[in-house]
Each structure stands twice: as C-alpha cells, then as structure tokens.
Structure 1
Amino acid sequence: MSDPTTAAETPLFGPESRFSAFFDDPRWALAMIRATVLEAAHPQIGAALADNSTFVAHPWRRLRNTFLSMRRMFCADAPVREREAARLNRLHARMSGSDSRGRPYDAMDRAARAWVVATLFESAVTMCRLSGQPLDRHTMEQMYAEYRSFLAALDGDAAELPQELSDFWTYFEGVVENELENTEAARVILFRLFDHLPAPALLDGAPVLWAAGRAVAGPLLGAITVASLPEPFRRRAGLPEMPGAGSLMQGAYLAAGLARFLPQGWINAETVIETLSLSPDSDDPRVRTVTALRSRMRRASALLRLLGPLEDAAAPRPGQGSPHGSGSGRRSAEEFFRKVLDQTGDGYLDWPDLAAMARELSTRLDLDEPDETRLYDAFAAWWRELQTALDTDGDGRVDADEYAGAVPSLAGPALIRVAEVLFDATDKDGSGGIDADEYRALFRTAFHRDLSTANGTCSRSDFVGDFVAFMAGRRTSTPYDPLLADA
C-alpha cells in the first residue's frame, strides 16, 4: 500500500512529515498538555478518561505508551500504522459506560475521536504561534492533511473533520463554544495531576528533592496551561487565570522554542522518556549514569530535609512498612492496594483497574488480537472472582477496607489462570520456557538474580508462582514492581 501524499508529493507519514518534526521539540510537551485538557473537556472523552485511564496513578507509563503509539501511527511503514490502528481500536472498543450524569459514552464514538485529532492539530498550530514561529499557510495545510490521514487510519475515513483547513476553524470554535465542559477529568489534569505528580523511576530515590521541584513547577505548569486554553472555554468553565499568567505562558513557549538553535540530535524525546523510565535494577548501560545521579540527588534531598522538611510522599506511614519492601519481602495491604490494584487512582478496585493491567501487559508484549483477547478474558474472570469474594456491600467495586479484610481471596484459581495465560503470551516460540529475549520483552530487563532459572529459561512453574505471589500482595521487590506498580 502506497503512502498518501499531498499535491506537492510531500509524504504525510514518516520522517519527512511536519508531525515528525515535533517529536523532539520541547514545545511539544506544553502543546500535548494543552491538547489533553481540551480532550478531557469533551464530555464523552472526559468520562472515558475518568473511568478507564491510568494517567493519574501512572502518568509516566501513560506518557511512554502514548508517545510510542504516536510514533507508530506516523511511521512511514503502512503495515506498522495499520497494526497500531487495529490495536488502538481494540483498546477503545472495550471502553464504554455512563458518566456521573447518566450520559452514555463510547470511546469508539467517531465525533469524539475526531476531536482528539483536532486538539492535537490546533495545539501544534498554537504552540508555533505562541513561540514566535507561526506556521505559513502552506505548511499548516500540509500538517492538517497529515492529521486527517491519521484520523482516516483509525476510522477508515476522515469525514468527521472538515476537508478544508478554512472550515476547520469554524468547526473547532463551534465545539469549544457549544460542547466542552469543565469535566472532572479536565479538573484533575489542571489542579491535581501537576500538584501530586509521582516521581518517575529516575527520581524515585529522591522524594524530597522531587517534592520540592514539583511544589514550584506544578502550579506554574497549571497556570501556563490554563492561560493557553481558548478564552471562550476558560470563561465558560470558570477557570481562574492568575495575574501575569499570559506573560509566563508566552515566556515558557518562547524559551522552549530556543531549542531550535541546538545542534540536531541533541534532544531526543524517546531517549528522555526511556531514561526517566529506567528502574534501579535494570541492566541497561545507562543505569550506571542514573545510579550516580541518584546518589547526588539523595545528598541534595538530605540537604533539603535539613533546610526545610517537606512531607516525604515515599516515606512509610506508621505500620505501612518500607515502600521498597521489608526484609521479609512483604508489603502492607494498604500499599499494595494503592500501588498495584488501584490502577486508575480513584480509591477503588473494579474492572477498569484490571482492564488497565491487561492493557499494559498486552502493550508490553505487543500482542495480536487472539492472545490479547485471551489475556483480557482471564483478567475478567479474575475480576468476577474478586467481586464475589470481596465486594461485601454490593456496590460493584472493592474499597481498601473490603480488600484488607479478605486478602487471601486474591490468590484463587482465576488468578492462577491469568498467570498461565500471561506465560503463554510471553513464551512467543512455544518452547515451554521464557528465554532471555522473551523475558526482556515483558520486563524490559534481564533475568533477575532472585529468579530461579534453568537452561537459560524461566519455567512455567517459576513464572506462575512469582506472578501469583506478587498479585496476591504476598511479595514485593520482584520484577513485577516496575511492570504494574511504578508510575
């Protein structure tokens, strides 16, 4: 299948596209935050995010997965795009329900999906304008054609977006004026996410230093984002704009735009994201540098504690135990519920949390439809088992108290089945053991020393036993921590 091109024969996908030029642009980070808020303000999208997304509890994991997905969707190789589009459609087809006002939502709604693409395009145009590098008409039309092609790759056509750029602005303003709301998801992004953003793996060893930096950067990011939103939406949503926020926003975009003067290749977004995601026990060569940085950050954290103690989010509460596990390798029920089971961060365990686990595991292993469906079905069976055993008040979900009162019920037959299905999905060659490459695909690291191996492989019994012990909350400090517990 040949790649679509513009009239000037400029590729709409691949390294020569306008979109690809933004991947390593620091301004794109600001634009993406802005676009995400505009997406979340759409009632259908906001409801789907509130019920299903892990962006609150695991924002760095969500960032990495979104970045890699967009890389694939704008890849020059058509089969790669088609495979990723099919994966995204399967993922979204599993997300439907009702919002807090009883209005139905469906993540496959074509108008809502078109709005996601529209916010990305409009935010890219806005970021260029705010940074003093406005796009000319020809470049803007080329980029709009790229985004419409992106939507067509997902939906089969781009009919939900106007064909002509001149008509797009009328469409965009109409949605902003008539459809956007001050949704819970938008408020969480603006007023909770930045203030409570967990540290990425790179900075996990310096919680005080991270808390100090977040206390300054969080409100600034929120103010910059609010100031950059369309004025009609800010007015209708009643979003406060602090004095000087407009100048702060302009300065932030202008400063980020200065990166264009750096030598090409100095900023690589994929490398930055991968580095932030490195776990301390990874065998990646970059970990040596990260370890040295961690040591320096711990010293800085110790100094900050002396100068002005801040609440250490990672410090154990009374009776909670160490966040990295005690000598017995056990973690408290409260910590396991918060870090592992409550994937969406809403304080409850229900089906969207287990679906998020299945989604992350499927993404890691890049599963095709049959294996992906088997994994989701296994998690669904586990959820039914948990609901029967733990949902004592019959509200359809499990809170922390209900969980703590029946912890042994986690390790039932359905959980063992989840482990077996995951083993089969990881064992790509069907050899009956997980070799080093297959193990790395799931955990992004080499075999751990504390894992029993034979003939260079991980056996089914070892894998199932370790997975069940972790998911039942019996063991910490396993390779599963970075998989499902880290942010």
Structure 2
Amino acid sequence: MTNQPTAEETADVFGPNSMLHRLVNEARWGLAVTRATVLEAAHPQIGAALISNSTFVTHPWRRLRNTVMSTQRLLDPDRHVRSREAARLNRLHARISGTDPQGRGYDAMDAEARAWVVATLFESAVTMYRLSGESLDGPAVERLYTEFRTLLTLIEGDSDQLPATSQDFWHYYDDMIDHRLESTEAVRVILYRLFANVPAPPLLRGHPAVWAAGRAVAGPVAAAVTIASLPESFCRRVALPDLPGARALMHGAYLTAGLATRLLPDGWMHTSSFMSLLDPHHGDGAGPWADLRRKAGQAAAMLRLITPAPEEANQATRSADRFFTEVLDQTGDGYLAWPDLAAMAREVATRLDLEERDEERLYSAYAAWWGELRADLDADGDGRVTRREYAASAACLPSSGLVRIAEVLFDVTDVDDDQMIDVQEYQALFRTAFHRDLTGRGDSYSRGAFVRQFLSFMSGQQHSVAYTSLLS
C-alpha cells in the first residue's frame, strides 16, 4: 500500500521551515552529498549509468550548478514548479539505459535505485549532523526521514521502496550495504580520479598553476575524508583503505564545518555564498567572500608572472584535439558516442527548462546528427568516434544534422517567437555554470546568423566563449 504523505507533512516539506529546506541551503551539505554519491555509485544500476552517461567527472562544476538548481525547484513552494521539475527529471532518466560490462541491464528509472539515492542522502545527512556535533534526537530524525520520503514520492509517485519509519530504515540500509552494493568502477572514479583531476572552478580557470598546486593537496585530503566518513561495513565490502590519520582528519573537517555553520554570521555558510566564492562573476561581486576572491585573484596573478607559458606546438592538431576533449567528449571516456551528444541536449534542455515537446525535438535533432557522425566518421564501425577519427575529418564534419540542431536551438531560445534572438534571450541560453550572464555584442541575432555561428563553433572552425561556456 502506498504511504502518501499528509497535506500537513507536504506543506511542511516544501516550506521555508522544513528541515530539508534548511539543510540543502547549508554549504556543509556538500560533505553529505559527496559521501552519498559514493554510496549511490556502489549500486550496480547507478554505477553503470554514471560511468556510461554522466558528465560528473569532466564537468563537475556544471553538474553542481544543475543539481543545486534542480533541488531548489523540487523544494519550491509552488506545486507547479515542483511537478514540472519532477517530470523533467523523469524524462531525463527515462533516456538513460543500457548494459554494463558484465552484460547486466541498467535503467535510470529503476525504482529500487531511485529509492537508494534518497536513502543515501538521508543517511548521509544524519551522519553529517552527528559528525558535526549536532546529533539529532528521535523525533527530528523521524521528521527528516518523512521529508525525504515525501521528496521520493514527488519524483517516483510513491515511497513504497523505502520503509515506513526511520526505525525500520536502518535494517533496510544495512541490508543494502551487505547484499546489494558492489565495488563498481564509478566508486573508484569518484574517489581516485574525480578528486585528483577535478578541473578548476570558474574563479581559478584562468590560473591553472594556482589550481594545480591546491588540488595536489586538496584532492587526496578530500578522498581520505570521504572514505573515513563511510560505514566500515561498506569500506570492507568494496575494499577501501583505512588510511592512517584519516579518521582524525575527517572528524576535524566535519566539526569545523559544523562550528562554522553555527558561529559565522548568517549567509557566510549559505550554499549560494560558496557558489559565489567559486565564481567571481556570480551575483554582484559583493557578499561575505568578495575580499577572499580578490586576494585569490592577486595570488594567482603573481604565480602566473613566474610560471612560463606552455609551448603551442602543432596548432592545427592541438586545436582539433582540444575541441574534441573540451566540447565533444562530454563523458570524458576518450570517445565520441551517443551519451556525449545526449549530454549536450540534456544541458541545453536543463538550461532553458524546456517543455516536453521542445525537449523531444532537441534530442531528436542530436540523434540525427549522431547518425551522420557514425556514418561519416566511424571508420572501424565500433559505434563510437575516436579522437583520431574526428581529427582526420574535422574539416568536413557532417552539417545537415548540425543545421537541424541549430534550428531547434534557435526556436527554443526565441521565446517571444519574433524570429530574432535578443540580448535577454541570448543571456538566458549562454549563462555559465554559476548563473553568470554573457552580455554578447549587445545586438540581436537573426536565424541565419545564429545558425552560422553555431555551425562554425561545432565544426571546430571558430572559437566562441558563449558556446564554450554552454557545452564545456
């Protein structure tokens, strides 16, 4: 029997006083989400879907922005906004299915897997509070659990896959860890590749030396803290190491985050404040972290003066390789395949919050282009295009499918249907991963001019800051 939440519970979950609403707006929630993501990735269905379809390794900051935006929509007080976002997520997940390397099928609409995502977020939230020095009492845990189950009902239609009470939840949780989770490739990628190779956030994108130096220290620390926070039974099951000193480091990180949340002025540890810290163009340039951003920029400028610029040998080949890596290979597996083009369509659809009809047109256009790419560039017929195959034919990239994509992109961006894309419409499409608006040239684009610009960029012939911000 479906356990639907009462009207009072639903109103509380989506109101400003709900525990979940407060939780997701705290910056320390990132600790819980990172931990939960590892547990999610150990589920064979989720792990296979992440490896084959997700851009979380190559474009983590874009994924962060989209996740924050989606969560805000799901918790919006307006029922229409919540329902629209739930429907969009379901359409997105309905397009993700396939077969893992062991020949087992996976489907992003699998009810058990979707419930496990919510379960890991709830358990990681409880763990975050405990490690931060704020253990929740029984009624608070039950209330938070009810809110998470209500969120699952919004997405899934019911919450039957999760136990009815928080007391019963822990038996379910232990059983999932002991009998359902695996040491998947996705777990290893998150812990040992994502942390070690995460690209620079917008603030430091122009200062690679600063980011490389910081990442060399922060990457291993983040991995150690995350592993030490995971359940011991899970670590044994997936053979994660118990590093010396990692537990003390983890406790220190969580306690520091908890103290900062409680003691620093309101707004300093808000999610939006940290997003503003990551991107100097987010907001109005003020806020509690503005001075820190300026000092980071000064330090980066100093390091750039003493760091030699890399040599640009073989410009033509380097340009094709770079375009392939930064734009076309969305999943970062070294190949161009349908999941890469689907990721582009997904990003545009998310950016513009498209209705189902327009979203379907966009995906169909990308599918048509993929058919052309396979026919023209896939020399060995293995269903994917290598960097070498692309570089050899980059100058004559198939164009009719690209024209179709550009036409659809123009239609969905031209919201007032006046056959011109004005400055506001241009900005809505080309804002970066952290809401920054690109002002463009200050004029309008006709359909022909827009199509030509898109084709020049997607064929690798012309660089575009706007399209690079959208797709890389």
Mapping of 1:335-374 within 5 angstroms? Answer: 335-374=322-361
* Alignment correspondent of 1:242: 243
* Percent of residue pairs identical: 54
Check if 1:448 corresponds to 2:440: yes
Aligned length: 459
- Could you say what secondary structure the match of 2:7 adopts? coil
* Alignment correspondent of 1:326: none
Q: 2:313 aligns with which of 314, 318, 333?
A: 318
Q: Which letter does structure 1 place at the counterpart of 2:263?
A: F
Question: Structure 2: which 5+ runs fail to align?
Answer: 432-436
Per-residue CA deviation, residues 22-80 of structure 1 (Å, 9 max, x unaligned), is 23323211111100000011000000000110001100000110111111111222111
Q: Which letter does structure 1 place at the counterpart of 2:424?
A: D
- The answer on whether the counterparts of 1:3 and 1:78 sit within 8 Å (CA) in structure 2 is no
- The answer on whether the counterparts of 2:28 and 2:258 sit within 8 Å (CA) in structure 1 is yes
TM-score, with normalisation over the residues of structure 1? 0.90
- Could you say what secondary structure the match of 1:299 adopts? helix
Check if 1:434 corresponds to 2:421: yes
* Alignment correspondent of 2:434: none
In 2, the alpha carbon distance for the partners of 1:56 and 1:205 equals 20
- CA-based RMSD: 2.3
Alpha-carbon distance, 1:191 to partner = 0.4
Q: Which letter does structure 1 place at the counterpart of 2:197?
A: H
- The answer on whether the counterparts of 2:438 and 2:466 sit within 8 Å (CA) in structure 1 is no
Question: Structure 1: which 5+ runs fail to align?
Answer: 322-329
* Alignment correspondent of 1:261: 263
Closer, same or farther: CA 291–470 of 1 in aligned 2, 3 Å: farther
Check if 1:31 corresponds to 2:19: no
Check if 1:286 corresponds to 2:278: no
In 2, the alpha carbon distance for the partners of 1:273 and 1:266 equals 11
- The answer on whether the counterparts of 2:372 and 2:398 sit within 8 Å (CA) in structure 1 is no
Closer, same or farther: CA 204–241 of 1 in aligned 2, 3 Å: same
* Alignment correspondent of 1:107: 108
Q: Which letter does structure 1 place at the counterpart of 2:313?
A: P
- Could you say what secondary structure the match of 1:14 adopts? coil
- Could you say what secondary structure the match of 2:240 adopts? coil
In 1, the alpha carbon distance for the partners of 2:296 and 2:403 equals 37
Per-residue CA deviation, residues 299-331 of structure 1 (Å, 9 max, x unaligned), is 3423774xxx9xx9xx4663248xxxxxxxx97
* Alignment correspondent of 1:392: 379
- The answer on whether the counterparts of 1:208 and 1:304 sit within 8 Å (CA) in structure 2 is no
Closer, same or farther: CA 37–143 of 1 in aligned 2, 3 Å: same
Alpha-carbon distance, 1:365 to partner = 0.7
TM-score, with normalisation over the residues of structure 2? 0.92
Runs of 4+ in 1 over 4 A off after TM superposition: 287-295
* Alignment correspondent of 2:165: 164
Check if 1:77 corresponds to 2:58: no
Check if 1:4 corresponds to 2:7: yes
* Greater mean deviation of Cα atoms: 185-194 or 440-449: 440-449
Alpha-carbon distance, 1:272 to partner = 2.8
In 1, the alpha carbon distance for the partners of 2:344 and 2:280 equals 19
In 2, the alpha carbon distance for the partners of 1:446 and 1:244 equals 45
Per-residue CA deviation, residues 431-483 of structure 1 (Å, 9 max, x unaligned), is 0001122111101224423xxx7xx4211111111111111111114311111
In 2, the alpha carbon distance for the partners of 1:379 and 1:10 equals 40
Q: Which letter does structure 1 place at the counterpart of 2:242?
A: E
Closer, same or farther: CA 416–89 of 1 in aligned 2, 3 Å: same
Check if 1:94 corresponds to 2:95: yes
